[in-house]
Amino acid sequence: MSDLICVGAIAGAFGVKGEVRLKSFTADPEDIADYAPLCTEDGKQSFDITLTRPVKNGFAAQMSGILTKEQADALRGTRLFAPRDRLPSLPDDEYYHADLIGLTVHDTGGTELGRVKAVLNHGAADLLEIQASGQSETVLLPFTMASVPTVDIASGRIVADPPDGLF
């Protein structure tokens, strides 16, 4: 498990006074400011965040040390991370995406199907993108109780019951 969890990303500048357009990946989008200071993945930069107003697909936000449009534009695409200990603990049937990535996926008979490459959500429900063992293609598995009855973070494995023909 990673000590840092990605909670947002900077989509670019918003206006000319150093504000950024901020995408929040938290369950309650406004909570992203509560986890500040947020840092970059390499830990070289850290920012206090003040949400100034909601905008399409996120928030306008002021970040410490960012005073100009050029500085804000230079951060476009930067992912922001919070230490795991600042985030709330989750119920037994909920997981941080970062904890699922890299887990091995086995079918109910114990055969290894692959590894979780990414967790995607395009609106309806989460999908596990699985790099199938011995294949270059990935497979999308619905992350539902029916398709994924067991997630064991401690042992680094997922037991899946995929629909027929998926693998």
SS3 assignment for 79-106: EEEEEHHHCCCCCCCCCCHHHHCCCEEE
Q: Where are the domains of the chain?
A: 4-86, 97-160
pLDDT tens-place string over residues 76-130: 999 999 998 888 888 888 888 888 999 999 999 999 999 999 998 877 788 999 9
CATH of domain 4-86: 2.40.30.60
pLDDT tens-place string over residues 8-58: 999 999 999 999 999 998 888 999 999 999 999 888 999 999 999 999 989
Fold of 97-160: SH3 type barrels. (2.30.30)
